Chains A and B, each alone.
Chain A
């Protein structure tokens, strides 16, 4: 921290108690597969996948269930072998409790993998585009939380001149240790995945950023990366939100990402370490992303720790398998800072599920919101340099434009502001509300424009029809006139003849 930073307090973020141990130190467990799995068709940013299986069809583990649809989408695979029972709505792992389309599979009790077609003998001999294609086919999405399709990011590499790959092993959220566990137990595989990603993007070096509160993971990754000079492990100070893409990037490179740009503009691609492992599994073994490590933590679990959980497994089934000591005051998917409160337990685990926290009343943040005392703790905590108290005051009076002027769109919803707020003001909810409201207005605007086009088209149609009608009438009139004339002529002729005859 520089002198200026010390004087002016420009330090960002917070230092919450990490509460990762003892769960992080407990060996990885596999969880018993339940009888049914419910796989949502949308587990990623972008369009939902399109189902390619039929009800009643038998599928093998890893077989394609739904294919990517549109530019930003990801394929979905069967997490276990079994029979497709139904295709319909299931509760989304989302605070709203709204439904999402999904495929239900009844497990057949076997562990039969779908046979991959063309496993490469040497994955490093594959063309870079081929790696991107295989990653897309494996349905891999960013496992850090945003669930952005990974192949799209990898394919960016060649095009935008990526020279450095940053692997995000920050895992700055308290309670979570799934990435920690992955790096400890699968360091070799993860490093190979990183090297495959380097190969796919053409980047020269990879920096693995790991917070210094995970010495075991740092040691394991350093050892695994030792033979490969291009992969370097870089411990970073534990500080929330170090795992934010832009903040890890700045910590490791000393540069800053422009507000309207991405790290790729500066030649750096950021991926989660879990994604690297998934890439290795997909390329080396031909295994799509169908299961992941999930941290079970929080005071209400019987046995906190990390488990390998198939995608689509219901939280209710995990609760049955692991057991709860008490009814959790709050059930959260993800970390405590940015995670989602689950609407119930009939919700499936998805690719982006890093943890399931069953928090007791003591652990869960709760407090009546009080008036803001303008202590400005939030201003100092904000890692982006915003004025949360001012933005919330604007939003409270529906002044969304004012909030945008103050930088609402730069907010990363990390939750630092609400974490430090002594008045317990739900600042993140204010910002979430405003962002949603602004998006709704944008949609309404688009809709209005579309309506105007439709109205214009209708007016044009009516005009055309009227014109056609008029033309038709005129034609008929002309025809009738012609006919009349002909008749008249005929009558005249007849009359002539009659006259002649008479």
Chain B
């Protein structure tokens, strides 16, 4: 009887100490997952998801406050990558991915006000006061910030045209 009580007590104490030491010893500062997820994000901090920048969005996704599908510029590919990272099942069939889009300046309407240049997170818009602006296609992330700032509605989001190099065979319909 006493032996049993003693051994159990000892066992409990040893394991408890072990757990306590492990908790101190291997404590992790912050959540490394947030950084890893943030690394997957586009990083343009465009704010379309409603969170303060990409790190904010990453924290929200890791905390489960936002779905992995929160990032419009990232599209389906990012959603899949996030879901894989977080180890959650994701039904992408419902996600409408209109494909990547980038901003385009309607040259006949642009008045050269420079407002769009100021909000572009990647400095993808070229222009000077009273000069027609232009978007560098390779640098545009499609965040859409410039659309709201344009006083003449000269900015619009246009789908990136599909090219031979980017075309992907569609997945066969499941029998």
Contacts and interface: CB of A to CB of B under 8 A. Distances in A.
Given A369-B175, A371-B175, A98 B168 contact: no
Contacts of B123: 454, 457-458, 461
A498 B123 CA distance: 60
Interface stretch (B3-11, B35-43, B149-157): B35-43
B77 A430 contact: no
B33 interface: no
B2 interface: no
A433 B168 contact: yes
A437 interface: yes
* Chain B, interface SS category: loop
A433 B122 contact: no
Interface residues of B, number: 34
Contact of B172 (A398, A429, A450): A429
Interface stretch (B17-25, B57-65, B104-112, B158-166): B158-166
B40 A448 contact: yes
15 contacts: A98-B167, A368-B175, A369-B172, A369-B175, A429-B171, A429-B172, A436-B168, A439-B168, A444-B78, A451-B139, A454-B124, A455-B45, A455-B121, A457-B123, A461-B123
B169 A429 contact: yes
Contact of A454 (B122, B164, B174): B122
B145 interface: no
A11 interface: no
A94 interface: yes
A398 B163 contact: no
Most buried by B among A94, A95, A426, A461: A426
Contacts of B139: 450-451, 454
Interface string A401-436: 100000000000000000000010110011011001
Interface in A448-500: 448, 450-452, 454-455, 457-458, 461
Contact of B43 (A368, A451, A461): A451
Interface of A: 42, 92, 94-96, 98, 100, 368-371, 395-396, 398, 401, 423, 425-426, 429-430, 432-433, 436-437, 439-441, 443-444, 447-448, 450-452, 454-455, 457-458, 461
Contact of B122 (A370, A426, A458): A458
B171 A395 contact: yes
Contacts of B172: 369, 425-426, 429-430, 433
B175 A96 contact: no
* Chain A, interface SS category: helix
Interface of B: 40-45, 74, 77-78, 80-81, 84, 92, 120-124, 138-139, 141, 162-164, 166-175
A98 B78 CA distance: 26
A433 B44 contact: no
Given A436-B168, A444-B74, A454-B123, 17 more contacts: A94-B164, A96-B162, A96-B164, A369-B172, A369-B173, A429-B172, A432-B169, A433-B170, A439-B168, A440-B168, A441-B81, A447-B141, A448-B40, A450-B138, A450-B139, A451-B42, A458-B120
B61 to A, nearest CB: 15
Contacts of B81: 441
Most buried by B among A94, A425, A454, A457: A454
A454 B140 CA distance: 10
A145 B107 CA distance: 44
Contacts of B168: 432-433, 436-437, 439-440
A450 B122 CA distance: 10
Contacts of B167: 94, 96, 98, 436
Contacts of B138: 450
Nearest to B139: A454
A441 B92 CA distance: 15
A395 B172 CA distance: 10
Given A441-B81, A457-B123, A425 B175 contact: yes
Contacts of B41: 448
A396 B174 CA distance: 8
A455 B141 CA distance: 11
Given A454-B139, A455-B45, A433 B92 contact: no
Contacts of B42: 447-448, 451
